[in-house]
């Protein structure tokens, strides 16, 4: 399939990366597609959406856009991270934290790359409806208080199903034993912060967390590209490209959109608000509008396009290690009998969530990946689901009652604050000390 026929300006942006951040892109051939990109029908299947794959591959413009974003990182964050050798990693983090909380004026020693980085995040685009975003945050508080703590591990597992996209995390050594728990908690912390009142404001905690996540990803790009033999661009392309950030930011939106498509309808007003906060989160993380659909069909089609053009590849050395490390991670910090029961409920529900939503209910395939779903797991998952969905429905009902909805919302905010304390302080970074040598 001929590339560079439909999106000339986008391809110019791809090419400009080499001059803008040579530390990451200078040694890459950005005119050639890496092995990971496929248009041969060898891509990842989307459970329940397999019929759309042929339609996507027939859309040359859409496929070409996926190709371009497979070769696109985060140039503004990468340029800031590339100053690491000169300034030091920890000073980069400290300056970013100070600039987020106090403003750029509080960082007189900041390099110009920091100002450029933050300016891009500050420019809220006209395609984002902030009234809807705030409404979506309020609606999502129920989900993040009751469902997400049980589902986050399962959603995390879904990001390790392909060695091409999972390798950067494997190279950092950050997903084994207790470090896996830290990464799961950091992910939960970021998304939970985004639904807290006022946290998405310019000086809010969620804005700062988004900037730290972008710096973390940029640091990984710089580290893997400056170590000879660690990363093969001809095979893996750009480390953590834009298309690989779609699943984490759009998993919730995909589930909502797929349900709406199955029911042959558009979004309800509440669903539209939940989609909008997800779009704004993704914008803060650096994703372009082109990858963030608004309608059920657009969201599903974009995600199917991402999966269809990502060559299917699961290997034990990369994916299996990450899956087992995440499953073995001890997320709970309550040693009491109640805490131990809750820990088992969470682990079993996470397995069920992963198998149902990402493997189309295929327990045998899950077992081949290292996710053993036993009869006891089924029992615990059902108990967890009963508790989760009872609470979700209870708080959803309270939200419909004018007299008590504000009281219920304050109660949810209190629950989320407790969860954030349990997750601990997120570090959102790695200075590369854990980066281990590996061959692509």
**DSSP conformation letters of 283-305:** HHTT--GGG--SSHHHHHHHHHH
Identify the H or E element spanning 212.
helix 205-225
Domain that holds residue 372: 48-74+127-228+237-423
CA distance linking residue 269 with residue 258, whole number of Å: 16
pTM of structure: 0.91
Say how many domains are in the chain: 1
Residue at 132 is within a domain? yes
Q: Which two tokens stand for residue 261?
A: 């498509």
Residue at 5 is within a domain? no
Residue at 111 is within a domain? no
Residue at 203 is within a domain? yes
Residue at 1 is within a domain? no
CA distance linking residue 370 with residue 324, whole number of Å: 6
The residue ranges of the chain whose pLDDT is under 50 are: 431-440
Residue at 180 is within a domain? yes
Per-residue burial over 328-353, b = 16 or more CB atoms within 10 Å of its CB, e = otherwise: ebebbeeeeeeeeebbbbbbbbbbbb
Residue at 439 is within a domain? no
Residue at 91 is within a domain? no
Nearest to 313 by CA among 101, 127, 34, 66: 34
| Predicted local distance difference test score (pLDDT) of residue 92 | 95
């Amino acid at each position: 399939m001929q590339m560079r026929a439909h999106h000339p300006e986008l391809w110019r942006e791809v090419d400009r990366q080499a001059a803008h951040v040579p530390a990451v892109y200078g040694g890459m051939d950005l005119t050639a597609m890496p092995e990971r990109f496929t248009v041969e029908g060898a891509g990842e299947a989307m459970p329940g959406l397999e019929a759309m794959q042929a339609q996507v591959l027939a859309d040359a413009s859409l496929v070409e856009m996926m190709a371009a974003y497979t070769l696109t990182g985060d140039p503004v964050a990468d340029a800031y991270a590339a100053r690491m050798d000169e300034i030091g990693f920890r000073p980069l983090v400290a300056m970013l934290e100070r600039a987020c909380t106090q403003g750029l004026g509080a960082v007189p020693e900041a390099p110009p790359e920091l100002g450029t980085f933050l300016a891009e995040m500050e420019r809220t685009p006209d395609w984002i409806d902030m009234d809807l975003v705030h409404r979506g945050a309020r609606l999502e508080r129920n989900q993040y208080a009751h469902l997400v703590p049980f589902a986050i591990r399962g959603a995390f597992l879904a990001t390790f199903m392909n060695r091409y996209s999972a390798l950067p995390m494997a190279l950092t050594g950050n997903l084994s034993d207790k470090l896996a728990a830290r990464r799961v908690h950091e992910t939960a912390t970021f998304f939970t912060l985004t639904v807290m009142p006022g946290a998405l404001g310019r000086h809010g905690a969620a804005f700062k967390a988004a900037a730290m996540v972008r710096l973390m990803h940029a640091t990984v790009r710089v580290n893997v590209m400056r170590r000879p033999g660690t990363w093969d661009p001809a095979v893996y392309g750009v480390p953590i490209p834009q298309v690989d950030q779609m699943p984490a930011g759009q998993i919730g939106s995909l589930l909502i959109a797929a349900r709406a498509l199955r029911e042959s309808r558009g979004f309800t007003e509440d669903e539209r608000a939940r989609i909008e906060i997800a779009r704004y989160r993704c914008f803060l993380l650096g994703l372009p509008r082109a990858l963030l659909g608004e309608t059920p069909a657009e969201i599903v089609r974009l995600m199917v396009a991402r999966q269809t053009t990502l060559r299917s590849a699961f290997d034990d050395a990369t994916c299996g290690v990450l899956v087992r490390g995440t499953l073995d991670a001890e997320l709970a910090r309550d040693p009491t009998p109640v805490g131990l029961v809750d820990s088992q409920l969470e682990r079993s529900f996470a397995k069920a969530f992963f198998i149902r939503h990402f493997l189309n209910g295929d327990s045998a395939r899950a077992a081949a990946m290292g996710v053993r779903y036993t009869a006891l797991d089924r029992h615990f998952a059902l108990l967890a689901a009963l508790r989760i969905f009872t609470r979700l429905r209870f708080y959803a009902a309270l939200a419909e009652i004018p007299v008590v909805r504000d009281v219920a919302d304050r109660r949810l905010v209190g629950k989320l604050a407790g969860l954030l304390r349990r997750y601990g302080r997120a570090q959102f970074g790695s200075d590369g000390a854990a980066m281990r040598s590996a061959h692509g």
